[in-house]
Amino acid sequence: MTISGRTLILAGRPIPLEPREAAGALGREIASMPRGLRLWFAVLLGAIAVAVPAALVALPPGWEVLGTTPTFEWGLLIVGYVFFAITTSGLCLASSLGTVFGIERFRPLEKRHAILALLCLTTAFGIIALDLHYPIRMVFGAVFVPSPSSPMWWMGVFYGIYLCVLVVEVWSMFTNHPRIHQVTCTMAACTAIVAPATLGAVFGVLVARPFWHGPFTVALMVASAFLSGTALLGMVFFAVHRLHLAGAERAASLAIPAIRLLLGLGLTVVALLVARQVLVGLTSDLPAFREATTLLVAGPLAWQFWGLRVVLGLAVPIALLALPATRTPIGTGIASFLAIAGVFVDRMTFVAAGQIAPTSVAGNISAPFAVYSPSLVEIAIILGAVAFVALAYSLAERYLDLDESDAHAVVTLPVPSLNRIRALLPSRRRVARDAAVGVGAPVPAPTPGSVEGGA
C-alpha cells in the first residue's frame, strides 16, 4: 500500500483520495462488478444496515431489549461471541498445520485463514461489547484490577494477546517478513489452543451449572473450535474453487482435500464428545445434570439437538465426507456449511441447556424449565455480524492478493531432526567397534545435510 500524490495504491489498484474522484471511481467500480457480486454486497449491506440500529439500541445499559431474564442471563449474544471466538481459534489451529508444522498440503490455507481469523475475532469482541453493559469499564478494570481467580479474566487476556498476534501476523504476511510471520504464526497456534480452552473453562468451572461443569467442556470447546474453523475454511475454499478466484487450482488440488481430511477428523471428535456428554448426563447422579440432559434430548431443545445438531450438523456432513460419490469440492463445501451451522446450533443448545434446568428452585424460575427466546435485536445483531465478516472478507478477496506467494515461504524452526539426534547418539555398531579397539566413542559432528533451518 503506497500513496502517490492524491492516489492510494492498494494491491496495485489506484484509489483516488479526492472525495469527488473517489465517488466517481466507486461508481465505476460498482458498475464494473458482475451482477451476482453486486447482489451479494447489497444483501450483506442490507443486513448490516439493520444490525447497526439494533446495536445502538442494545448498547445502553439496562434497556432490556434482549430476550434474557434473571434466570436465563446468557443468551444469543453470548452464543455469537463464543461462536466467533472459537472459530477464530479453529482457523489458526487448522492453518497451523501448514504454517507451523510445515506440512505442505495444508499450506494453501495460510493467507485466507489469517484474514478470516482477524475478522472473526474483531466481530466476537464487537458482539461481547454489545452484550456487556459497560464494555469500557471491562478494558480498564481487567488491566488495573486484575482478577486471576476468574477464568473470564484469563479469557480476556488470551484473546487480547491473540488479537495483537493476529494483527502482526497479517501485517507480516502482506509486507514480506517471513521470519516475523513464522514467529507470529507459531504464537497464534499456541494461543489458538489456550484461548478456547479458557473460554471452555469459563463455563466448566461453574458448579452451579452441572451441564457445563467439568473438564470435558474445555475439550469440547477446543474440538468445536477446530471444527468450525476448518468448516469456515472449507466454505471459503469451495467458493474460491467455484468462482475461480486467486489460487483456484491450488484450492482444488491441495486445500479442499486437506480440509476434507481435517473436517472429518473434527466431526468425529466432536461427535464422540457430544455422545459422551449425553450418555454421562443421562446416567448422572446429579439430578440437575440429568434433568438438563433430559431437557436437551427429550425436552424443548430436542428438535434443535437431534434435527439440527446431530442429523444436519454431524451425521450428514460425515456421510458427505465418507461417501465416494460426494467426495467432491461441492460435497466438501456443503459438509463445511452444515458443520459450521451445527457448531453454532451446538453452542446455542449448550448455552441454553446449562440454564434451562433449575439447579435449585431458586429465583423466579418457572419450573420445570426456564424459557428464553431471542429478541429481534439479538437476531439482527448476529445476522449483521455474519454479514460484516462476509462483506469484509469478500472485499479482501476482491482487492487483496490472497494467492499464496513466496513472501511467507516455510521457515522451519530449528527443531532437531531425527537424523541429527541419531548422529549425536553412539550407534551400536560404532560402540562395538570402539569397544574392540578399547577407546571411547567420539561424538561425530552433525553433517551439514542433517541440519535443518534457514529460509
CB of 135 to other proteins, least distance (A): 7
CB of 99 to other proteins, least distance (A): 32
- The nearer residue to other proteins, 5 or 60, going by C-beta atoms, is 60
Q: Report how far residue 214's alpha carbon sits from residue 136's, in angstroms, rounded to the nearest whole number.
A: 31
- The nearer residue to other proteins, 210 or 266, going by C-beta atoms, is 210
CB of 60 to other proteins, least distance (A): 7
- The nearer residue to other proteins, 83 or 289, going by C-beta atoms, is 289
Per-residue burial over 283-314, b if 16 or more Cβ lie within 10 Å, else e, is ebeeebbbbbbbbbbebebeebbeebbbebbb
CB of 294 to other proteins, least distance (A): 16
Among 69, 284, 328, 450, indicate the residue that binds other proteins (CB under 8 A): 69
Among 67, 90, 151, 200, indicate the residue that binds other proteins (CB under 8 A): 151
Counting contacts by CB under 8 A, is residue 373 touching other proteins? no
Q: Report how far residue 187's alpha carbon sits from residue 204's, in angstroms, rounded to the nearest whole number.
A: 25
* Residues 6 or more apart in contact with residue 380 via CB below 8 angstroms: 50, 51, 54
CB of 210 to other proteins, least distance (A): 10
CB of 176 to other proteins, least distance (A): 36
Position 155: which residue type?
M
At CB < 8 A and 24+ separation, what contacts does 41-44 make?
Answer: 41/391, 41/394, 43/387, 44/387, 44/388, 44/390, 44/391, 44/394
CB of 320 to other proteins, least distance (A): 36
Report helix, strand or coil for 89. helix
Interface characters, 27-66, with other proteins (x: CB under 8 A) = ---------------------------------xxxxx--
- The nearer residue to other proteins, 50 or 152, going by C-beta atoms, is 152
- How many residues bind other proteins, per CB under 8 A? 51
Q: How far is CA 374 from each of CA 24, 79, 203, 384, 451, rounded to the nearest angstrom?
A: 42, 11, 20, 15, 58
Counting contacts by CB under 8 A, is residue 216 touching other proteins? no
368: cis peptide before it, omega within 30°? yes
Report helix, strand or coil for 16. strand
Q: Report how far residue 98's alpha carbon sits from residue 257's, in angstroms, rounded to the nearest whole number.
A: 14
CB of 138 to other proteins, least distance (A): 4
Interface characters, 191-210, with other proteins (x: CB under 8 A) = -----------x--xxxxx-
Between residue 353 and residue 372, which ones bind other proteins under the rule CB under 8 A? 354-355, 358-368
- The nearer residue to other proteins, 37 or 288, going by C-beta atoms, is 288
- The nearer residue to other proteins, 31 or 144, going by C-beta atoms, is 144
CB of 159 to other proteins, least distance (A): 12
In order, the DSSP letters of 33-74 are: S-HHHHHHHHHHHHHHHHHHHHHHHHSSTT---SS-BTTB--
Instruction: Classify the phi-psi angles of 401: left when phi > 0, otherwise alpha if psi is within -120 to 50, otherwise beta.
Output: beta
Counting contacts by CB under 8 A, is residue 331 touching other proteins? no
The gap from C-alpha 271 to its chain's centroid, in whole angstroms, comes to 18
| Piece in contact with other proteins (CB under 8 A), picked from 130-138, 174-182, 218-226, 395-403 | 130-138
Counting contacts by CB under 8 A, is residue 145 touching other proteins? yes
Counting contacts by CB under 8 A, is residue 133 touching other proteins? yes
Among 16, 102, 141, 160, indicate the residue that binds other proteins (CB under 8 A): 141
CB of 249 to other proteins, least distance (A): 47
Residue with the three cell numbers 461489547: 129
Counting contacts by CB under 8 A, is residue 298 touching other proteins? no
Among 6, 137, 244, 430, indicate the residue that binds other proteins (CB under 8 A): 137
Query: Which residue, among 158, 131, 130, 150, has the nearest Cα to 202 in the 3D structure?
Result: 150
**Phi first, then psi: what are they for 95, rounded to 5°?**
-80, -20
Position 342: which residue type?
G
Cα–Cα–Cα angle for 415, 416, 422, rounded to 5 degrees = 165
Cell numbers standing for residue 23: 465517488
Counting contacts by CB under 8 A, is residue 156 touching other proteins? yes
Q: Report how far residue 312's alpha carbon sits from residue 271's, in angstroms, rounded to the nearest whole number.
A: 12
Which residues of this chain interact with other proteins, rule CB under 8 A? Answer: 60-64, 68-71, 73-74, 131-138, 140-142, 144-147, 149-153, 156, 202, 205-209, 354-355, 358-368
